[in-house]
Amino acid sequence: MIDLCLYNQLHRFAVAPSVGATWQPNPPVHWKESTPMLRQHSIEIRVRYDECDPMGFVHHSRYLQYFEMGRTELLRASGGNYREMEEAGQLVVVVRVDCRYRRPACYDDLLRLETEITGVTAGKILHQYHLYRDQELLVQADVTLAVIDRKGQIQRVPEFLRTAFSADQSP
């Protein structure tokens, strides 16, 4: 269940930063400056037996775990690291998921997950996912993330992510 209070705080900041949204500066997080920020990344996932429901299909809840794997590996391939963000007190949480299940994945299928960062603002990080078996699209999703501290208070998205994403957007 999404924390509605957290979502409302995020929405209030994203829409009107002056309306009661107070932000703490984020402590610096190590970033490998020599590694460019990737906007897209792809991983392969082999469906395991325990990920399937009694009908032999991947259970719908497992796709969210696949998306987590995709965004973790995208950040890692870009030189970032969620562990270091968490050690700095920056916790990344999901505040919105829009998932469309088109076809089921089955045990032992080899899947390709394409993860793309579609937007980064001071208040949120947007990802889009496409999961394929061969060339067939099985699932697509849009996920919105926010950054909070250990007390659950919304924080700004780390500067290195905003800067890296906006640099990637320049002509």
The catalytic residue positions are: 53
Strand partners, 119: 126
For the residues of 100-135, what is the DSSP string, one character each?
A: EE-S--BTT-EEEEEEEEEEE-SS-EEEEEEEEETT
Listed residue (96, 97, 94, 104) closest to 139, CA to CA:
104
**Is-contact 114 124, C-beta < 8 A?**
no
SS3 content of the chain, % helix, strand, coil (to 5): 30, 35, 40
**Is-contact 129 115, C-beta < 8 A?**
yes
Helix (H, G, I), strand (E, B) or coil at 63: helix
How far apart are the C-alpha atoms of 163 and 157, rounded to whole Å? Answer: 10
